[in-house]
Amino acid sequence: MANLLVVDDEDIFREFAAQTLRAAGHVVTMAASPAIALDLATSARFDLVISDINMPVMSGFDLAAKLNTEGSRRWTPVIFMSSRSDGMSFREAFGVGAIDYLVKPFTREQLLESVRNKLAETERRRTDTIAPGNENAMPSIPGYNLVSEIGRGGMGQVYLADRVKTGMRCALKVLTLVDEGREQTHILARFLEERALLSRIDHAGVARVFDHGIDDNHVFIAMEYFPCGDLKLALENGISIGTALNYVRQIAEGLAAVHALGIIHRDIKPANIMLRNDGTVALVDFGIAKELDAANTFTRNGEMIGTPHYMSPEQIGSKSLDARSDLYSLGAMFYQMLTHSPPFAGERLESVLMQHLQAPRPTLPRNLSILQPLIDRLLAIDPAARFPDVASFLKDFSVVELMRFSDHVGVREKSFAGMAMLDTLSKN
């Protein structure tokens, strides 16, 4: 039977759906909010998500979009269940990739029939995608031999591909052009903006772009392929303090290059930091990046952009952003690298967001106290209290790096002179 995720903030509907599906033999996980659902989806693969639409802070529409855009390696089908029965809701639901829509109240039989039929359809879709000899399994992109699909989301598909001209292996991000009205126009605009931004950046700390183009049916970006995976996976396996410091320096240097071009990333997080075989790292996923002086942001009015555990207070408040917002996200990720937990956590999204806005800044363990001034300033609630730019952060950070941190506690704790020096720099 299938592995299903039921998402609804109302206990009665969540329990009704879960009990019905479990009685049919399915394995069912429940989530009381989209934030919890997203966390669950990072550690488990679900064959199908059944979600409400109207939920606090994040809607079911936002959940569906995030499930299939944020570093996803596999398409996650979604069935919506809602009391909303208007045409606009239907259009928006299928615009974010829904495969079915159940209007509340519905019967057990209606739910089971929908799940049964859609599981069969998605299984056929996956089988067709990998079936030998299926010429429609992957698009035909001139100049590239596509090997396999490695990612899928609202901004297109990502394929492992070989460039015919050079034989170089790359990640090919492809958006198929179809006539689907305003939603397609919105996605295409975001895709083209990402292509334009990436093409301007030439730095080792940012994923390399080898090629980009457009034909009658597709827009594509050929980017560097990272077989070692991302920082999120590395953190799950554990990294040393020395490695954490090395990665933070590299990420900051990549951000400096991005900011120098007047671009803010807006979604700095472990899943968007890729690892190379030689120990270097690179920023990826500029799908929601923004030019600081751009008139068009390609976001809906009042929409929060980012990932909750790493979002700056001004992102949460949908306020004006600048490079200091990326520095806040870097600080949240830095803290997680050092402690193996994000700075703020909770079962509900609202709790996490409120901690970013109001809670005391997190304290590092005693043996890492030398780094506390850096964390405090990166994670300052008021942007004016943070480092004004990446260069200022790197100036203070270099003091720690020159001390050549190791994994030996004695080395971490012995340099009182270095601690005083760092404290002095952090106050400048």
Reported as a pLDDT band with limits 50, 70 and 90, residue 198 is: low
- State the pLDDT confidence band at 307, using cuts at 50, 70 and 90: confident
- The structure tokens 């990826």 sit at 284
Q: What is the pTM assigned to this prediction?
A: 0.61
pLDDT at 142 over 90: no
Q: Which residue has the tokens 């089908």?
A: 77
CATH class as words, domain 144-223: alpha beta
Q: Provide the pLDDT for residue 268.
A: 92
Q: Which of 47, 52, 267, 396 is catalytic?
A: 267
Question: 61 near 52, Cβ under 8 Å?
Answer: no
| Topology annotation, domain 3-130 | Rossmann fold (3.40.50)
At 129 the pLDDT is: 43
Please, where in the chain does CATH 1.10.510.10 lie? Answer: 231-426
Q: For the residues of 267-330, what is the DSSP string, one character each? A: --SGGGEEE-TTS-EEE---TT-EETT-S---S-TT---S-GGG--HHHHTT----HHHHHHHH
Which pairs from 193-199 meet CB under 8 Å and 24+ separation? 193/289, 193/298, 194/155, 194/221, 194/286, 194/287, 194/289, 195/219, 195/221, 197/263, 197/286, 197/289, 197/291, 198/223, 198/286
pLDDT score for 196: 67
Tell which wins on pLDDT, 171 or 44: 171
- % of residues, the chain, pLDDT over 70: 76
Topology of domain 231-426 in CATH is: Transferase(Phosphotransferase); domain 1 (1.10.510)
Q: Where in the chain is the domain with CATH 3.30.200.20?
A: 144-223
Decide if 267 is catalytic: yes
Residue 323 has pLDDT above 80, yes or no: yes
Output 320-324 pairs: Cβ under 8 A, ≥24 positions apart.
Answer: 321/264, 321/266, 321/290, 322/264, 322/292, 322/383, 323/255, 323/259, 323/264, 323/292, 323/389, 323/390, 324/383, 324/386, 324/387, 324/388, 324/389
Distance (Å, whole) CA 33 – CA 165: 48
- In the chain, which segments carry CATH 3.40.50.2300? 3-130
